[in-house]
Chain A
Amino acid sequence: MEKKSKLQILTNGFIKENPVLVLVIGTCPTLALSTQAINGIGMGLSVLFVLTCSNIFISALKKVIPDTVRIPCYIVVIAAFVTIVQLVISAFFPSLNDSLGVYIPLIVVNCIILGRAEMFANKNSVIDSALDGIGMGIGYTIALTLMGCIRELLGNGTLFGVTVTANVITPMTIMTMAPGGFLTFGVMIAIVNKITKGKVREKQQNKCLGCPGSAFCSEKEEGGEQ
Protein backbone atom coordinates (compact mmCIF):
# COMPACT_ATOMS: atom_id res chain seq x y z
CA MET A 1 0.00 0.00 0.00
CA GLU A 2 2.92 2.34 0.72
CA LYS A 3 4.19 1.96 -2.80
CA LYS A 4 1.12 3.54 -4.30
CA SER A 5 1.27 6.96 -5.86
CA LYS A 6 -0.97 9.72 -4.58
CA LEU A 7 -3.18 9.39 -7.61
CA GLN A 8 -3.57 5.67 -7.09
CA ILE A 9 -4.60 6.21 -3.51
CA LEU A 10 -7.21 8.68 -4.63
CA THR A 11 -8.65 6.61 -7.44
CA ASN A 12 -8.45 3.34 -5.54
CA GLY A 13 -11.88 3.88 -4.04
CA PHE A 14 -13.58 4.75 -7.31
CA ILE A 15 -13.82 1.28 -8.74
CA LYS A 16 -11.02 -1.04 -7.73
CA GLU A 17 -11.84 -0.95 -4.04
CA ASN A 18 -15.21 0.67 -4.27
CA PRO A 19 -16.50 0.49 -0.69
CA VAL A 20 -20.03 -0.43 -1.70
CA LEU A 21 -19.69 -2.59 -4.77
CA VAL A 22 -16.38 -4.30 -4.10
CA LEU A 23 -15.76 -4.28 -0.37
CA VAL A 24 -19.52 -4.49 0.33
CA ILE A 25 -19.41 -2.44 3.50
CA GLY A 26 -21.85 0.16 4.69
CA THR A 27 -24.70 -1.77 3.15
CA CYS A 28 -27.56 -0.51 5.31
CA PRO A 29 -27.72 3.10 4.09
CA THR A 30 -26.88 1.96 0.58
CA LEU A 31 -30.01 -0.15 0.45
CA ALA A 32 -32.24 2.24 2.33
CA LEU A 33 -31.31 5.49 0.64
CA SER A 34 -30.84 4.50 -2.96
CA THR A 35 -34.52 4.95 -3.72
CA GLN A 36 -33.74 8.28 -5.37
CA ALA A 37 -30.67 9.54 -7.11
CA ILE A 38 -30.67 12.77 -5.11
CA ASN A 39 -30.50 10.84 -1.85
CA GLY A 40 -27.42 9.10 -3.15
CA ILE A 41 -25.66 12.41 -3.72
CA GLY A 42 -26.72 13.83 -0.35
CA MET A 43 -25.71 10.76 1.58
CA GLY A 44 -22.58 10.29 -0.50
CA LEU A 45 -21.36 13.80 0.16
CA SER A 46 -22.12 13.49 3.88
CA VAL A 47 -20.08 10.32 4.06
CA LEU A 48 -17.35 11.91 1.94
CA PHE A 49 -17.07 14.77 4.40
CA VAL A 50 -17.07 12.62 7.53
CA LEU A 51 -14.72 10.09 6.02
CA THR A 52 -12.17 12.67 4.86
CA CYS A 53 -12.23 14.60 8.14
CA SER A 54 -12.03 11.53 10.33
CA ASN A 55 -9.26 10.04 8.20
CA ILE A 56 -7.23 13.25 8.51
CA PHE A 57 -7.87 13.54 12.21
CA ILE A 58 -7.15 9.93 13.05
CA SER A 59 -4.07 9.87 10.89
CA ALA A 60 -2.79 12.99 12.63
CA LEU A 61 -3.45 11.52 16.05
CA LYS A 62 -2.27 8.02 15.31
CA LYS A 63 0.79 8.38 17.55
CA VAL A 64 -1.24 9.83 20.41
CA ILE A 65 -4.11 7.36 20.51
CA PRO A 66 -3.23 4.30 22.63
CA ASP A 67 -3.66 1.12 20.65
CA THR A 68 -5.90 -0.61 23.17
CA VAL A 69 -8.62 2.02 23.18
CA ARG A 70 -8.31 3.08 19.56
CA ILE A 71 -11.77 1.92 18.47
CA PRO A 72 -13.64 4.01 21.07
CA CYS A 73 -11.40 6.96 20.19
CA TYR A 74 -12.20 6.57 16.52
CA ILE A 75 -15.88 6.41 17.32
CA VAL A 76 -15.69 9.65 19.28
CA VAL A 77 -13.89 11.41 16.43
CA ILE A 78 -16.34 10.09 13.87
CA ALA A 79 -19.37 10.91 16.02
CA ALA A 80 -18.15 14.48 16.37
CA PHE A 81 -17.96 14.96 12.61
CA VAL A 82 -21.28 13.23 12.09
CA THR A 83 -22.85 15.67 14.53
CA ILE A 84 -21.46 18.54 12.48
CA VAL A 85 -22.94 17.08 9.30
CA GLN A 86 -26.22 16.49 11.07
CA LEU A 87 -26.44 20.11 12.18
CA VAL A 88 -25.42 21.50 8.79
CA ILE A 89 -27.93 19.36 6.89
CA SER A 90 -30.81 20.09 9.22
CA ALA A 91 -30.03 23.81 9.03
CA PHE A 92 -29.54 24.20 5.29
CA PHE A 93 -31.18 21.21 3.60
CA PRO A 94 -34.30 20.39 5.61
CA SER A 95 -35.88 18.33 2.83
CA LEU A 96 -32.74 16.22 2.47
CA ASN A 97 -32.76 15.85 6.22
CA ASP A 98 -36.24 14.38 6.04
CA SER A 99 -35.39 11.85 3.37
CA LEU A 100 -32.09 10.75 4.91
CA GLY A 101 -33.62 10.62 8.39
CA VAL A 102 -32.05 8.28 10.87
CA TYR A 103 -29.31 7.30 8.45
CA ILE A 104 -27.37 10.51 9.11
CA PRO A 105 -26.65 9.68 12.76
CA LEU A 106 -26.05 6.13 11.65
CA ILE A 107 -23.04 7.25 9.61
CA VAL A 108 -21.27 6.82 12.96
CA VAL A 109 -21.56 3.08 12.79
CA ASN A 110 -21.06 2.91 9.05
CA CYS A 111 -18.37 0.32 8.54
CA ILE A 112 -16.78 2.30 5.74
CA ILE A 113 -15.59 5.01 8.07
CA LEU A 114 -14.40 2.85 10.91
CA GLY A 115 -12.98 0.48 8.37
CA ARG A 116 -10.89 3.12 6.62
CA ALA A 117 -9.75 4.48 9.97
CA GLU A 118 -8.63 1.03 11.00
CA MET A 119 -7.27 -0.14 7.68
CA PHE A 120 -5.77 3.00 6.26
CA ALA A 121 -5.67 6.14 8.37
CA ASN A 122 -3.85 4.70 11.34
CA LYS A 123 -1.06 3.41 9.13
CA ASN A 124 -0.57 6.21 6.64
CA SER A 125 0.36 9.86 6.47
CA VAL A 126 -2.15 12.65 6.83
CA ILE A 127 -2.13 13.56 3.14
CA ASP A 128 -2.50 9.96 2.01
CA SER A 129 -5.32 9.46 4.46
CA ALA A 130 -7.08 12.55 3.21
CA LEU A 131 -6.76 11.35 -0.38
CA ASP A 132 -8.00 7.92 0.62
CA GLY A 133 -10.97 9.49 2.38
CA ILE A 134 -11.84 11.61 -0.65
CA GLY A 135 -11.43 8.69 -3.03
CA MET A 136 -13.50 6.32 -0.95
CA GLY A 137 -16.10 9.02 -0.41
CA ILE A 138 -16.35 9.62 -4.14
CA GLY A 139 -16.57 5.90 -4.78
CA TYR A 140 -19.37 5.67 -2.25
CA THR A 141 -21.18 8.62 -3.81
CA ILE A 142 -20.85 7.15 -7.30
CA ALA A 143 -22.20 3.77 -6.22
CA LEU A 144 -25.08 5.23 -4.24
CA THR A 145 -26.06 7.70 -6.94
CA LEU A 146 -25.88 5.08 -9.65
CA MET A 147 -28.07 2.75 -7.64
CA GLY A 148 -30.40 5.63 -6.91
CA CYS A 149 -30.64 6.43 -10.63
CA ILE A 150 -31.44 2.84 -11.54
CA ARG A 151 -34.07 2.42 -8.87
CA GLU A 152 -35.63 5.82 -9.42
CA LEU A 153 -35.81 5.31 -13.18
CA LEU A 154 -37.29 1.82 -13.03
CA GLY A 155 -39.45 2.33 -9.99
CA ASN A 156 -40.66 5.85 -10.47
CA GLY A 157 -39.89 6.73 -14.07
CA THR A 158 -37.94 9.81 -13.01
CA LEU A 159 -34.33 10.89 -12.64
CA PHE A 160 -33.42 13.41 -9.98
CA GLY A 161 -37.12 14.14 -9.72
CA VAL A 162 -37.48 14.91 -13.44
CA THR A 163 -39.97 12.75 -15.30
CA VAL A 164 -38.21 10.61 -17.88
CA THR A 165 -40.11 7.48 -18.73
CA ALA A 166 -43.05 7.66 -16.34
CA ASN A 167 -45.42 8.82 -19.08
CA VAL A 168 -44.36 6.21 -21.58
CA ILE A 169 -43.83 3.09 -19.50
CA THR A 170 -45.68 2.26 -16.32
CA PRO A 171 -42.97 2.38 -13.63
CA MET A 172 -42.47 -0.77 -11.61
CA THR A 173 -42.92 0.65 -8.13
CA ILE A 174 -41.41 -2.40 -6.50
CA MET A 175 -37.96 -1.17 -7.50
CA THR A 176 -38.17 1.67 -5.01
CA MET A 177 -39.34 -0.70 -2.28
CA ALA A 178 -37.24 -3.01 -0.15
CA PRO A 179 -37.04 -5.99 -2.54
CA GLY A 180 -35.95 -3.72 -5.39
CA GLY A 181 -33.13 -2.42 -3.20
CA PHE A 182 -31.75 -5.87 -2.47
CA LEU A 183 -32.13 -6.92 -6.07
CA THR A 184 -30.47 -3.84 -7.59
CA PHE A 185 -27.60 -4.12 -5.15
CA GLY A 186 -27.11 -7.79 -5.90
CA VAL A 187 -27.19 -7.27 -9.64
CA MET A 188 -24.77 -4.33 -9.46
CA ILE A 189 -22.29 -6.38 -7.46
CA ALA A 190 -22.64 -9.16 -10.01
CA ILE A 191 -21.94 -6.70 -12.82
CA VAL A 192 -18.82 -5.47 -11.05
CA ASN A 193 -17.80 -9.10 -10.61
CA LYS A 194 -18.26 -9.61 -14.31
CA ILE A 195 -16.28 -6.51 -15.27
CA THR A 196 -13.41 -7.33 -12.97
CA LYS A 197 -13.62 -11.01 -13.95
CA GLY A 198 -14.23 -12.14 -10.40
CA LYS A 199 -11.02 -10.69 -9.01
CA VAL A 200 -12.97 -8.75 -6.45
CA ARG A 201 -14.87 -11.72 -5.16
CA GLU A 202 -11.82 -12.63 -3.12
CA LYS A 203 -12.33 -9.47 -1.16
CA GLN A 204 -15.98 -10.15 -0.61
CA GLN A 205 -15.26 -13.46 1.02
CA ASN A 206 -13.96 -11.61 4.04
CA LYS A 207 -16.33 -8.80 3.41
CA CYS A 208 -16.41 -7.67 7.01
CA LEU A 209 -12.81 -6.64 6.49
CA GLY A 210 -13.68 -3.07 7.22
CA CYS A 211 -15.66 -3.96 10.28
CA PRO A 212 -13.66 -3.98 13.52
CA GLY A 213 -15.43 -7.13 14.60
CA SER A 214 -14.57 -8.95 11.43
CA ALA A 215 -12.03 -11.17 13.12
CA PHE A 216 -14.70 -12.56 15.42
CA CYS A 217 -17.20 -12.80 12.65
CA SER A 218 -15.20 -14.85 10.21
CA GLU A 219 -13.67 -16.88 13.00
CA LYS A 220 -17.09 -17.85 14.21
CA GLU A 221 -18.38 -18.54 10.75
CA GLU A 222 -15.54 -20.90 10.09
CA GLY A 223 -15.55 -22.31 13.60
CA GLY A 224 -19.21 -23.12 13.13
CA GLU A 225 -18.31 -25.65 10.49
CA GLN A 226 -16.98 -27.80 13.36
Chain B
Amino acid sequence: MSIKHQNLVVSAAPHVNNPVDTAVIMRDVCIALVPALAWSIYIFGFRALLLTAVCMCASVFFEWAVRRIMHRDSSTIKDWSAAVTGMILAFNLPVGLPLWMAIVGCFVAIVIVKQLFGGLGQNFANPAIVARIALFVGFAGKMAEWSVTGKMAAAILNASPDAITGPTPLALLAKGAEVPNNAQMFLGFINGSMGEISAAALIIGGLYLVFRKVISPAIPLSYMATVAVLALCFGLDPIFQLCAGGVMLGAIFMATDYVTSPITTAGKIIFGIGCGVFTMLIRQFGAYPEGASFAILLMNILTPHIDNWTKTKLNGVEKGGKK
Protein backbone atom coordinates (compact mmCIF):
# COMPACT_ATOMS: atom_id res chain seq x y z
CA MET B 1 0.00 0.00 0.00
CA SER B 2 1.43 3.37 -0.89
CA ILE B 3 1.39 6.12 1.64
CA LYS B 4 -1.07 8.22 -0.27
CA HIS B 5 -3.43 5.39 -0.84
CA GLN B 6 -3.43 4.46 2.81
CA ASN B 7 -4.38 7.98 3.75
CA LEU B 8 -7.23 8.10 1.34
CA VAL B 9 -8.69 4.99 2.84
CA VAL B 10 -8.55 6.05 6.42
CA SER B 11 -9.42 9.70 6.50
CA ALA B 12 -10.87 10.93 3.32
CA ALA B 13 -12.13 14.31 4.41
CA PRO B 14 -9.01 16.46 4.49
CA HIS B 15 -7.53 14.91 1.41
CA VAL B 16 -10.59 15.56 -0.69
CA ASN B 17 -10.37 19.24 0.10
CA ASN B 18 -6.63 19.46 0.04
CA PRO B 19 -4.63 18.14 -2.84
CA VAL B 20 -1.66 17.69 -0.53
CA ASP B 21 -0.30 14.50 0.95
CA THR B 22 0.55 13.56 4.50
CA ALA B 23 4.12 14.72 4.24
CA VAL B 24 3.08 18.26 3.31
CA ILE B 25 0.59 18.46 6.15
CA MET B 26 3.03 17.03 8.65
CA ARG B 27 5.74 19.41 7.50
CA ASP B 28 3.33 22.28 8.09
CA VAL B 29 2.68 21.00 11.59
CA CYS B 30 6.42 20.88 12.20
CA ILE B 31 6.76 24.47 10.99
CA ALA B 32 3.89 25.50 13.22
CA LEU B 33 5.64 23.96 16.20
CA VAL B 34 8.84 25.91 15.59
CA PRO B 35 7.88 29.14 17.44
CA ALA B 36 7.07 27.16 20.57
CA LEU B 37 10.28 25.18 20.19
CA ALA B 38 12.31 28.35 19.79
CA TRP B 39 10.69 29.78 22.88
CA SER B 40 11.42 26.73 24.98
CA ILE B 41 15.04 26.70 23.82
CA TYR B 42 15.24 30.36 24.81
CA ILE B 43 13.74 29.63 28.22
CA PHE B 44 15.10 26.18 29.04
CA GLY B 45 18.32 26.24 27.06
CA PHE B 46 20.03 23.56 25.02
CA ARG B 47 18.37 20.72 26.87
CA ALA B 48 15.03 21.53 25.22
CA LEU B 49 16.58 21.08 21.79
CA LEU B 50 18.24 17.86 22.89
CA LEU B 51 15.00 16.42 24.24
CA THR B 52 13.14 17.30 21.05
CA ALA B 53 15.86 15.83 18.87
CA VAL B 54 15.97 12.61 20.90
CA CYS B 55 12.20 12.21 20.78
CA MET B 56 12.05 12.85 17.05
CA CYS B 57 14.91 10.48 16.28
CA ALA B 58 13.56 7.77 18.58
CA SER B 59 10.08 8.02 17.08
CA VAL B 60 11.35 7.82 13.53
CA PHE B 61 13.62 4.94 14.49
CA PHE B 62 10.79 3.01 16.15
CA GLU B 63 8.55 3.62 13.16
CA TRP B 64 11.22 2.30 10.84
CA ALA B 65 12.24 -0.60 13.07
CA VAL B 66 8.78 -1.87 13.92
CA ARG B 67 7.67 -1.78 10.32
CA ARG B 68 10.82 -3.62 9.35
CA ILE B 69 10.13 -6.27 11.97
CA MET B 70 6.56 -6.62 10.75
CA HIS B 71 7.82 -6.92 7.15
CA ARG B 72 5.98 -3.84 6.10
CA ASP B 73 6.96 -0.90 3.99
CA SER B 74 9.21 1.11 6.27
CA SER B 75 9.33 4.11 3.99
CA THR B 76 6.45 5.58 6.01
CA ILE B 77 9.08 7.48 7.96
CA LYS B 78 9.23 9.81 4.97
CA ASP B 79 5.72 11.06 5.66
CA TRP B 80 7.02 12.97 8.70
CA SER B 81 4.21 11.69 10.88
CA ALA B 82 6.52 9.88 13.27
CA ALA B 83 8.72 12.94 13.51
CA VAL B 84 5.71 15.10 14.33
CA THR B 85 4.55 12.65 16.97
CA GLY B 86 8.02 12.69 18.53
CA MET B 87 8.14 16.47 18.48
CA ILE B 88 4.71 16.86 20.05
CA LEU B 89 5.56 14.26 22.67
CA ALA B 90 8.74 16.14 23.55
CA PHE B 91 6.64 19.29 23.96
CA ASN B 92 4.58 17.39 26.52
CA LEU B 93 7.51 16.42 28.72
CA PRO B 94 9.31 18.27 31.46
CA VAL B 95 12.60 19.46 30.04
CA GLY B 96 14.71 17.65 32.63
CA LEU B 97 13.14 14.24 32.06
CA PRO B 98 15.74 11.46 31.77
CA LEU B 99 16.16 10.78 28.09
CA TRP B 100 15.52 7.05 28.37
CA MET B 101 12.08 7.80 29.79
CA ALA B 102 11.37 10.01 26.81
CA ILE B 103 12.41 7.12 24.58
CA VAL B 104 10.03 4.82 26.44
CA GLY B 105 7.36 7.40 25.69
CA CYS B 106 8.23 7.30 22.00
CA PHE B 107 8.00 3.51 22.10
CA VAL B 108 4.51 3.71 23.62
CA ALA B 109 3.41 6.30 21.08
CA ILE B 110 4.79 4.79 17.91
CA VAL B 111 4.84 1.07 18.57
CA ILE B 112 1.94 0.45 20.92
CA VAL B 113 -0.56 3.13 20.02
CA LYS B 114 0.16 3.54 16.33
CA GLN B 115 1.81 0.56 14.68
CA LEU B 116 0.08 -2.19 16.66
CA PHE B 117 -3.18 -0.84 15.31
CA GLY B 118 -1.93 -0.88 11.77
CA GLY B 119 -0.04 2.38 11.44
CA LEU B 120 -0.91 5.92 10.46
CA GLY B 121 -4.62 6.58 10.27
CA GLN B 122 -5.68 3.46 12.11
CA ASN B 123 -4.91 4.42 15.68
CA PHE B 124 -8.01 5.42 17.62
CA ALA B 125 -6.11 7.45 20.20
CA ASN B 126 -3.55 10.17 19.68
CA PRO B 127 -0.12 8.54 20.13
CA ALA B 128 1.52 11.51 21.83
CA ILE B 129 -1.38 11.86 24.28
CA VAL B 130 -1.31 8.21 25.30
CA ALA B 131 2.46 8.33 25.67
CA ARG B 132 2.25 11.42 27.82
CA ILE B 133 -0.35 9.85 30.10
CA ALA B 134 1.53 6.55 30.27
CA LEU B 135 4.69 8.39 31.32
CA PHE B 136 2.73 10.62 33.63
CA VAL B 137 1.15 7.72 35.47
CA GLY B 138 4.13 5.43 35.09
CA PHE B 139 6.89 7.79 36.19
CA ALA B 140 4.78 10.05 38.35
CA GLY B 141 7.78 11.44 40.23
CA LYS B 142 10.00 12.32 37.28
CA MET B 143 7.16 13.67 35.20
CA ALA B 144 6.34 16.18 37.91
CA GLU B 145 9.92 17.35 38.38
CA TRP B 146 10.04 20.72 36.76
CA SER B 147 13.70 21.54 36.77
CA VAL B 148 14.89 25.09 36.43
CA THR B 149 17.49 25.39 33.70
CA GLY B 150 18.82 27.95 31.25
CA LYS B 151 17.09 31.30 31.24
CA MET B 152 14.30 29.76 33.27
CA ALA B 153 15.83 30.71 36.59
CA ALA B 154 16.41 34.32 35.66
CA ALA B 155 13.06 34.79 34.00
CA ILE B 156 11.12 33.22 36.81
CA LEU B 157 13.11 34.64 39.68
CA ASN B 158 12.21 38.13 38.57
CA ALA B 159 8.58 37.21 38.58
CA SER B 160 8.11 35.30 41.77
CA PRO B 161 10.58 34.19 44.43
CA ASP B 162 8.54 31.03 44.84
CA ALA B 163 9.52 29.80 41.43
CA ILE B 164 13.04 28.71 42.28
CA THR B 165 11.71 25.26 43.05
CA GLY B 166 10.09 25.35 39.66
CA PRO B 167 6.45 24.40 40.16
CA THR B 168 4.00 24.90 37.33
CA PRO B 169 1.35 27.61 37.58
CA LEU B 170 -1.33 24.94 38.08
CA ALA B 171 0.65 23.42 40.94
CA LEU B 172 1.05 26.87 42.47
CA LEU B 173 -2.67 27.44 42.14
CA ALA B 174 -3.41 24.09 43.77
CA LYS B 175 -1.15 25.05 46.67
CA GLY B 176 -2.85 28.41 46.94
CA ALA B 177 0.45 30.21 46.29
CA GLU B 178 0.87 33.36 44.25
CA VAL B 179 0.64 32.62 40.53
CA PRO B 180 2.35 34.43 37.65
CA ASN B 181 0.35 37.30 36.16
CA ASN B 182 -1.56 36.90 32.93
CA ALA B 183 1.06 38.58 30.76
CA GLN B 184 3.69 36.15 32.01
CA MET B 185 1.30 33.29 31.50
CA PHE B 186 0.48 34.33 27.96
CA LEU B 187 4.01 35.01 26.83
CA GLY B 188 5.44 31.98 28.55
CA PHE B 189 7.58 33.16 31.45
CA ILE B 190 6.42 30.17 33.45
CA ASN B 191 7.47 26.65 34.19
CA GLY B 192 5.82 23.58 32.75
CA SER B 193 6.17 20.96 30.08
CA MET B 194 8.75 21.91 27.51
CA GLY B 195 6.57 23.12 24.67
CA GLU B 196 3.43 24.21 26.40
CA ILE B 197 4.67 27.20 28.38
CA SER B 198 4.12 29.92 25.82
CA ALA B 199 0.52 30.35 24.77
CA ALA B 200 1.62 33.14 22.41
CA ALA B 201 4.05 30.93 20.48
CA LEU B 202 1.52 28.11 20.24
CA ILE B 203 -1.17 30.47 18.98
CA ILE B 204 1.18 31.75 16.27
CA GLY B 205 1.68 28.15 15.19
CA GLY B 206 -2.05 27.52 15.35
CA LEU B 207 -2.83 30.55 13.20
CA TYR B 208 -0.32 29.34 10.65
CA LEU B 209 -2.05 25.94 10.53
CA VAL B 210 -5.48 27.53 10.18
CA PHE B 211 -4.16 29.86 7.51
CA ARG B 212 -2.68 26.90 5.63
CA LYS B 213 -6.02 25.11 6.10
CA VAL B 214 -4.24 22.23 7.79
CA ILE B 215 -6.57 22.37 10.77
CA SER B 216 -10.07 23.65 11.18
CA PRO B 217 -10.42 26.16 14.01
CA ALA B 218 -13.57 24.40 15.27
CA ILE B 219 -11.90 22.17 17.84
CA PRO B 220 -9.40 24.66 19.29
CA LEU B 221 -12.00 27.41 19.55
CA SER B 222 -14.74 25.30 21.09
CA TYR B 223 -12.22 23.71 23.45
CA MET B 224 -10.84 27.06 24.61
CA ALA B 225 -14.27 28.64 24.86
CA THR B 226 -15.50 25.81 27.04
CA VAL B 227 -12.47 26.07 29.31
CA ALA B 228 -13.00 29.82 29.64
CA VAL B 229 -16.71 29.50 30.38
CA LEU B 230 -16.20 26.76 32.93
CA ALA B 231 -13.37 28.70 34.54
CA LEU B 232 -15.79 31.58 35.05
CA CYS B 233 -18.37 29.17 36.46
CA PHE B 234 -15.85 27.82 38.95
CA GLY B 235 -14.80 31.39 39.82
CA LEU B 236 -11.34 31.06 38.25
CA ASP B 237 -9.40 33.34 35.97
CA PRO B 238 -10.18 32.17 32.42
CA ILE B 239 -7.00 33.56 30.88
CA PHE B 240 -4.91 31.81 33.48
CA GLN B 241 -6.73 28.52 32.90
CA LEU B 242 -6.28 28.81 29.14
CA CYS B 243 -2.59 29.59 29.29
CA ALA B 244 -1.69 27.12 32.04
CA GLY B 245 -0.84 23.50 31.48
CA GLY B 246 -1.52 21.68 28.26
CA VAL B 247 -4.71 23.34 27.04
CA MET B 248 -3.13 25.44 24.26
CA LEU B 249 -0.80 22.70 23.05
CA GLY B 250 -3.58 20.14 23.33
CA ALA B 251 -6.26 22.23 21.68
CA ILE B 252 -4.15 23.33 18.73
CA PHE B 253 -1.88 20.39 18.05
CA MET B 254 -3.27 17.23 19.63
CA ALA B 255 -7.06 17.52 19.68
CA THR B 256 -6.99 18.47 16.01
CA ASP B 257 -5.33 15.23 14.90
CA TYR B 258 -7.40 14.13 11.88
CA VAL B 259 -7.30 10.50 12.72
CA THR B 260 -8.61 10.74 16.24
CA SER B 261 -11.09 13.60 16.04
CA PRO B 262 -14.56 13.77 14.46
CA ILE B 263 -14.98 14.57 10.80
CA THR B 264 -17.87 17.03 10.63
CA THR B 265 -17.79 20.54 12.04
CA ALA B 266 -20.65 19.72 14.39
CA GLY B 267 -18.73 16.71 15.61
CA LYS B 268 -15.61 18.81 16.06
CA ILE B 269 -17.50 21.31 18.19
CA ILE B 270 -18.91 18.53 20.37
CA PHE B 271 -15.39 17.14 20.62
CA GLY B 272 -13.96 20.49 21.67
CA ILE B 273 -16.66 21.09 24.25
CA GLY B 274 -16.11 17.62 25.68
CA CYS B 275 -12.37 18.23 25.93
CA GLY B 276 -13.00 21.48 27.75
CA VAL B 277 -15.47 19.95 30.19
CA PHE B 278 -13.22 17.00 31.08
CA THR B 279 -10.16 19.24 31.35
CA MET B 280 -11.82 21.52 33.85
CA LEU B 281 -13.43 18.68 35.78
CA ILE B 282 -10.10 16.93 36.21
CA ARG B 283 -8.32 20.17 37.08
CA GLN B 284 -10.93 21.05 39.65
CA PHE B 285 -11.66 17.68 41.19
CA GLY B 286 -9.20 15.08 39.97
CA ALA B 287 -6.12 13.75 41.71
CA TYR B 288 -3.94 15.02 38.85
CA PRO B 289 -3.35 18.77 38.56
CA GLU B 290 -3.61 18.73 34.77
CA GLY B 291 -6.49 17.23 32.83
CA ALA B 292 -5.94 18.28 29.23
CA SER B 293 -4.32 15.06 28.10
CA PHE B 294 -6.86 12.82 29.83
CA ALA B 295 -9.65 14.93 28.39
CA ILE B 296 -8.38 14.61 24.85
CA LEU B 297 -7.88 10.86 25.23
CA LEU B 298 -11.43 10.44 26.55
CA MET B 299 -12.78 12.38 23.63
CA ASN B 300 -10.62 10.34 21.23
CA ILE B 301 -12.40 7.30 22.60
CA LEU B 302 -15.79 8.95 22.16
CA THR B 303 -14.98 10.04 18.62
CA PRO B 304 -16.53 7.01 16.88
CA HIS B 305 -19.79 7.69 18.72
CA ILE B 306 -19.64 11.40 17.91
CA ASP B 307 -19.07 10.57 14.27
CA ASN B 308 -22.09 8.34 14.44
CA TRP B 309 -24.29 10.95 16.07
CA THR B 310 -23.30 13.68 13.69
CA LYS B 311 -24.11 11.39 10.76
CA THR B 312 -21.04 11.73 8.68
CA LYS B 313 -20.33 9.83 5.55
CA LEU B 314 -18.07 7.59 7.60
CA ASN B 315 -20.91 5.06 7.62
CA GLY B 316 -20.50 4.57 3.93
CA VAL B 317 -16.77 4.09 4.35
CA GLU B 318 -17.39 1.52 7.05
CA LYS B 319 -19.75 -0.50 4.89
CA GLY B 320 -17.35 -0.38 2.02
CA GLY B 321 -14.53 -1.47 4.26
CA LYS B 322 -16.41 -4.49 5.43
CA LYS B 323 -17.12 -6.07 2.11
Contact = CB atoms under 8 A, between A and B. Distances in A.
A and B touch in the complex (CB under 8 A): yes
A179 B140 contact: no
A173 B137 contact: yes
B134 A179 contact: yes
Interface residues of B, number: 11
A206 interface: no
Interface of chain B, helix or strand or loop or mixed? helix
A170 B139 contact: yes
Contacts of A177: 137
B142 A174 contact: no
A11 B226 CA distance: 60
Interface size band for A: under 10
A173 B112 contact: no
B112 A172 contact: no
Contact of A170 (B101, B134, B137): B101
B286 interface: no
Interface string A173-202: 111010100010000000000000000000
B104 interface: yes
B141 A170 contact: yes
B89 to A, nearest CB: 16
A177 B141 CA distance: 16
Contacts of A174: 134, 137-138
Contact of A173 (B98, B101, B104, B138): B138
Nearest to A225: B322
A194 to B, nearest CB: 10
Contacts of B112: 183
B106 to A, nearest CB: 14
Nearest to A177: B137
Contacts of A183: 112
A33 B101 CA distance: 27
13 contacts: A170-B101, A170-B139, A170-B141, A170-B142, A172-B104, A172-B138, A173-B139, A173-B140, A174-B134, A174-B137, A174-B138, A177-B137, A179-B137
Given A170-B139, A170-B142, A174-B134, 17 more contacts: A170-B98, A170-B101, A170-B141, A172-B104, A172-B138, A172-B139, A173-B137, A173-B138, A173-B139, A173-B140, A174-B137, A174-B138, A175-B138, A177-B137, A179-B134, A179-B137, A183-B112
